[in-house]
Amino acid sequence: MRQNFRFSGTGGQGLITAGIILAEAALLDGRLAVQSQSYGPEARGGSSKAEVILSDAPIHYGRVTHPDTLLVMSQEAADKFSGDCDASSLIITDSLFVSDVRAKGARRIDLPITHTAREACGKPLFANIVALGAVVALTRCVTTEALERAVLQRVPKGTEEANRKALAAGYALAEKYEKRAA
């Protein structure tokens, strides 16, 4: 089974880190993973994206040409990176920053990701981990145990508890959405 992810937003939102963590979680689950990233020349503020391919079979081409799941954390990223999504894609947006997505027929889920990070952890800095928790809860692409382990191996020392809270808040956000949609 192969899953293609694209995490997009603004430089400084931690989406490249989120992509790396997702790939590491897949490896911890015994799956194969390829992660790539691109960003503008700005240190912060320009558009950025991380792409992750997870598979149970060898990955022969390491680029995402059609995302199964697109996470969009800014309007600029929605404008730039949603064009190759279609009816088979899942688009998850941060409702604080994204109002319009031009993908045709894609399933769209708007979540208050940054608001939830601020509420759960006191800072919007943890929005990438909240988003990662929501993506994993909605797609079930890796186990929650592997994801937590990958997060804790990657985050700065002293932030482990806040990152655990952010992950739990992301899971809860997805669960709340699924209950409303049912």
Asked whether the predicted pLDDT for residue 128 surpasses 70, the reply is yes
pLDDT value at position 47?
Answer: 82
pLDDT value at position 180?
Answer: 86
Asked whether the predicted pLDDT for residue 41 surpasses 70, the reply is no
CA-derived radius of gyration, the chain:
15
Asked whether the predicted pLDDT for residue 43 surpasses 60, the reply is no
How would residue 11 be classed by pLDDT, with cut points 50, 70 and 90?
confident
Residue with the larger pLDDT of the pair 42 and 35: 35
Q: Which fold has domain 2-181?
A: Pyruvate-ferredoxin Oxidoreductase; domain 3 (3.40.920)
pLDDT tens sequence across 64-83: 999 999 999 999 999 999 98
